[in-house]
A and B are shown apart, each in its own frame.
Chain A
């Protein structure tokens, strides 16, 4: 039982991180029908910026915020340069461009910062609180849960309750009509990318301290799991991204804990295939399965 509780908390924490990556993918997919394979690399680069600022200023929070800002900026830059034309291409082209960009960013960061592991501090203490001698969660874990949930709530509020959110949604779903009523569609899409870049950077800032440290390939595995989460949830749904992220995190934690580490990624595959066989467009997609 103790073990079950521990694995659940562990799975939820990592699930939140996968959810953040998934959310970044979903934000871009919803608006531009681009699957951004460079998402992980962008997050990695943003985290390097955060690290540099932390080292320069000595303040974690200044670095944290500049990491998020760098994420947004990088995303805008990428959207305006390479991906703008990719939006009008078939999805696979965007994927290939994304992979190319991934390699490019990794190489670029490697040239600037070197390939050594770097240590990114955490916001809070990582010492686990125990409940009845079961190690449960650390303050950092709570921060991970809280910040991702907070960002999601903020995004939901922004998209559904504010004027700019309305414009973004209109630009995404009915671009022609939006344009006719005076929405600057392209600008809205760029804003969507900026949001996605920020959420991705948040994922990077949260996940890096749990792993080996920061190095150019640090986000690759996280990205793959985040992508799995996004597909499980249904690429069109933000709620789906969160649910998919948590499902992925929990599945992997239980499988690693009870069955063994070799099966971690096969488990992700089984989860994905299992969900998609029942719901071909993910858990939360407006269901219109192709009749086959």
Chain B
């Protein structure tokens, strides 16, 4: 029995004098009650964290809040997997329940007044309670299932989440999610505590609370019951435990932590969206939580494949935080000596890897006398695996969290001086004597990247061209492109990084509705110009609520109206149907169609989920309903799928495709040699130069720049889109004056009068931030789209559709807007 080199608080009250096989070397008189000990740690942690959050930048605080959310959930997951041996891959879904509850509650308060701290506390509690209820229900099912089957169910739960939010879209807001009005710091603190720091503090309080409760739980009889069930269900049952009840309880406890974590995550994100709680989130904590153990050398014995697994009984020490890197060497046969020295190295995060050797009493995880050794010995079922995880979960939760947080602070934030304060006397953030720094978030990886990743290439190319020609008022325009993989929580982080760390002057062309929705409040509260969002949602045009945000492309509703108007005039007596993406794109579009044709005009309304490429059932429905005219609000891939599937069924309706899904060069990427026959006679809306129309001066200009700057990148509608957006950006930057400020930029946009590649004029003034106002109808013949009608303009409401008679601006020969 070696004794520890570190002075220790020994040991919880629950240890009946170390009867687990090793005599306790310390006199009972020196024990400190567990709760008190943990409580002291918690207080210490809180004090340290409060101080720490004051020392670091806003962005680091923001990251801390994120960390706090994940740590809460991870702690719960550790109890479930580590202490009780059940697997869950669906904790993100449980977190989502917490997040959505918080969102619904705070949203409700927001309707009548401004939510305060007490509302936030109630919301988080409510989120936890609701998640507990759901968790208990799932736990009952889970208790019957073994590892991989449970993994399957929980995985399916995580994957099904977006479906549920879409199905209950009126309450849960579908893909876009629901906005969470996060209360800022109370007035008394307002002067010293930034919003980011306030959120970090709330998150960290939650973490400490969760850690404190879980650490105590683990030390209690309940915790030992968890471990006993994990180690051997049969033995546990023989000892009189109700195995099922213990498992359900573990799942419930874990759900509670996940629910709270989800609530905190929602607060951090500013909204509850399915994308914010995606599968990677479930795996994230698991990754952090469990992989350490994988280095366990296990060989020996007959060494066979894993059937023998049950036989190996060695715990490996481990900690939970992925932020504590590089810890210790797992030595197989560490002396089992330290078994009674639990609290020992708590404060040294790198240290406490204890390996109860084979056969050693699983220190403090099993009740000494009841389960002690027998638990370790009789292992028959594969669940033991959990045990090894679990035996390492030491009680040292709270101190470790502190360590984790500090490590993060030290590593992440060392270099960071308070952002935003560097703009001394000079103009605005992001503007120097020879440069204007802009930022954007785009999907450069992930499923949305093919196609859309070309938009930022178009923007980049145009700005390069601009800089070659002298830039704006003598300053080069530099664009920072952050990849968000079309995942809202990544957008949230990337946008804050751009604003708080990189100190950009303005956001420009950030892509996507569900993604950009999460940062609307942040950008507007930070008073960062948020120009020309790349999506046709109506959300960007709310000048009262979001004075710094401006839309760009034609909104989906207006597009729907213009397409419907064509049908009303040319194909009125046919059977009208729709096929749209199951989110705001499809819904807004259909709304526009119904505004013009009447609420019951669409006989069949089919939708698709972008995650499922089998659209046969939907197209089959359209066919069997004999739809003659199909309004299609799809992204290009699904336009191609819909048409291809229909062609296979010998079904040839008149397709009317919204512009986002109708770019011929992009569709050609999907349809290949079938492009010309399949697209024949397709009607689409076109709000800017068609990328296949070589007669158009804008297309000529953008093609020229693309060849010059992007080399062999194929020119398509996405490139043109990015360039058109960059052209407008250059225009408003110029108008913002020689010494642009954020306010002068906003004023310049709101002054209106911009011109560019769109067919109809821009709508930018103080009360309208929508951007493009209209489109023309185009028809595709022989693989080429051509405009067949006048440009029409209208609004998103029930306003009339009118012909735009003004002349369209031609592209300047210089390629510059001045």
Contacts and interface: CB of A to CB of B under 8 A. Distances in A.
Contact of B637 (A117, A126, A210, A256): A117
Contact of B298 (A3, A88, A221): A88
A289 B144 contact: yes
B295 to A, nearest CB: 9
A69 B81 CA distance: 38
Interface residues of chain B: helix, strand, loop or mixed (majority) = helix
B648 A210 contact: no
B304 A176 contact: yes
B445 A3 contact: no
A95 B613 contact: no
Interface stretch (A56-64, A70-78, A155-163, A257-265): A257-265
A89 B611 contact: no
Interface string B603-644: 000111101111011101101100000000000011011000
29 contacts: A10-B620, A29-B148, A33-B305, A87-B305, A87-B306, A89-B294, A90-B389, A91-B148, A91-B151, A96-B283, A110-B445, A126-B648, A127-B650, A128-B650, A175-B302, A220-B447, A228-B152, A231-B153, A261-B609, A262-B163, A262-B169, A264-B609, A265-B156, A269-B159, A276-B145, A276-B149, A280-B149, A290-B233, A292-B143
B562 to A, nearest CB: 26
B509 to A, nearest CB: 19
Given A91-B148, A128-B650, A277-B144, A224 B624 contact: no
Interface in A240-281: 252-254, 256-257, 260-266, 268-269, 272-273, 276-277, 280-281
B670 interface: yes
Given A257-B618, A262-B609, 11 more contacts: A89-B385, A90-B385, A96-B287, A99-B283, A115-B449, A117-B669, A227-B155, A261-B582, A276-B144, A280-B145, A290-B144
Contacts of A261: 582, 606-609, 612, 618
Interface string B533-564: 00000000000000000000000000000000
B32 interface: no
A92 B613 contact: no
B693 interface: no
A189 interface: yes
A185 B618 CA distance: 49
Given A117-B670, A261-B607, A221 B612 contact: yes
Contacts of B637: 117, 212-213
Among B89, B286, B449, B450, residue most surrounded by chain A Cβ atoms (within 10 Å): B450
Given A32-B306, A210-B613, A281-B146, A93 B290 contact: yes
Among A2, A35, A135, residue most surrounded by chain B Cβ atoms (within 10 Å): A135
A217 B450 CA distance: 11
Contact of A33 (B307, B389, B617): B307
A185 B306 CA distance: 12
A211 interface: yes
B225 interface: no
Contact of A96 (B146, B286, B613): B286
Interface residues of chain A: helix, strand, loop or mixed (majority) = helix
Contacts of A135: 620, 623, 648-651
Interface of A: 2-3, 6-7, 10, 14, 29, 31-35, 85-93, 95-97, 99-100, 107, 110, 115-117, 119, 126-128, 130, 135, 138, 171-172, 175-176, 179, 185, 189, 210-213, 215, 217, 220-221, 224, 227-228, 230-231, 235, 252-254, 256-257, 260-266, 268-269, 272-273, 276-277, 280-282, 289-290, 292
A239 B623 CA distance: 35
Contact of B450 (A96, A116, A230, A281): A116
B631 to A, nearest CB: 16
Among A87, A221, A261, A272, residue most surrounded by chain B Cβ atoms (within 10 Å): A261
Nearest to A232: B152
A231 B287 CA distance: 23
B811 to A, nearest CB: 28
B478 interface: no
A21 B450 CA distance: 25
B293 A89 contact: yes
Contact of A185 (B305, B446, B453, B641): B305
Contacts of A179: 302, 304
Nearest to A90: B385
A279 B682 CA distance: 50
A268 B612 CA distance: 12
Given A89-B294, A265-B156, A130 B149 contact: no
B231 to A, nearest CB: 13
A91 B388 CA distance: 12
Interface residues of B, number: 85
Given A128-B648, A211-B613, A292-B143, A262 B149 contact: no
Given A88-B306, A265-B163, A280-B146, A212 B670 contact: yes
B614 A10 contact: yes
Contact of B147 (A10, A32, A91, A176): A91
B294 A264 contact: no
A181 B670 CA distance: 55
Contacts of B614: 10, 14, 210-211, 252-253, 256
Nearest to B644: A126
Contacts of B298: 88-89
Contacts of A7: 617, 620
Contact of A253 (B141, B296, B306, B616): B616
B144 A92 contact: no
B283 A272 contact: no
Contacts of A254: 617
Given A88-B306, A257-B620, A262-B166, A235 B148 contact: yes
**Which 10 residue pairs spanning A and B have beta carbons closest together?**
A90-B385, A231-B152, A211-B613, A257-B617, A175-B304, A262-B166, A292-B244, A212-B637, A256-B617, A269-B160
Interface in B128-168: 141, 143-149, 151-153, 155-157, 159-160, 162-164, 166-167
A262 B286 contact: no
A21 to B, nearest CB: 13
A33 B307 CA distance: 8
A269 B582 CA distance: 19
Contacts of A282: 149
Nearest to B233: A290
B95 interface: no
Contacts of A128: 648-650
A87 B566 CA distance: 62
A212 B641 contact: yes
A282 B149 CA distance: 8
Interface string B264-302: 000000000000000000010011001101101011001
B87 A91 contact: yes
Among B155, B287, B312, B616, residue most surrounded by chain A Cβ atoms (within 10 Å): B616
B87 A92 contact: yes
B407 interface: no
Nearest to A3: B624
A227 B145 CA distance: 16
B30 interface: no
Nearest to B247: A292
Contact of A88 (B309, B445, B449): B309
B498 to A, nearest CB: 22
Nearest to A138: B648
B367 interface: no
A252 B148 CA distance: 22
A210 B640 CA distance: 11
Interface in B4-52: none
A224 B167 contact: no
Given A261-B606, A261-B608, A262-B582, A227 B290 contact: no
Contacts of A262: 163, 166-167, 169, 582, 607, 609
Contacts of B233: 290
Nearest to A31: B305
B445 A35 contact: no
A185 B304 CA distance: 8
